[in-house]
Structure 1
Amino acid sequence: MNNILILLGYLLLMNILGYVTMWSDKKKAKRGEYRISEKALFTVAILGGSIGSIAGMKKFRHKTKHWYFKYGMPAILLLQLIVAFYLGTVLNG
């Protein structure tokens, strides 16, 4: 039970980070400031922030015209769900 709470807390933080990172990069883009790299945006998603990143993309209309974000972020989420399902079934019998 304690491990599940730690995992959920981690995922919550990563998704908040994904959302805020998209917001921050959009804000910087509007101001013409130095941007957050696409590699960093994808890294946050891969490390568990895919839902927050997707939500940020949609809310702030950011990176939605780039095919690798439009399809890449949902693909990351799908792979994470498949891995979670697999691990859940393997670890629980």
Structure 2
Amino acid sequence: MNAMLMVIYAVFTIAALVTMWRIVVGPSILDRAVASDVLLTLVICVLGAEMAINGHTRTLPVLLIIAAVGVFGSISIARFVARRDNLDR
């Protein structure tokens, strides 16, 4: 395996572990939502780096699906929090 790819995997693994810690610890739903967006972004970056290093585009549909899931998830959480805040008033 390429040494550059191993370094990228190591850096992104550390970042993913820190992000997972934020998802578990919280303390609010918005902190967890931002952390899950960061985790999805890390996955997209790892797949993009792997595509660039190996010179292929086979995982491009996966990147698009992950990006769509991230956007729709963020919108859903934002609507949930906004609706909950309106009910509390």
TM range (shorter): 0.3 to 0.5
Whose helix fraction is larger, Structure 1's or Structure 2's? Answer: 2
- Please report the TM-score for the alignment, with normalisation by the length of structure 1: 0.41
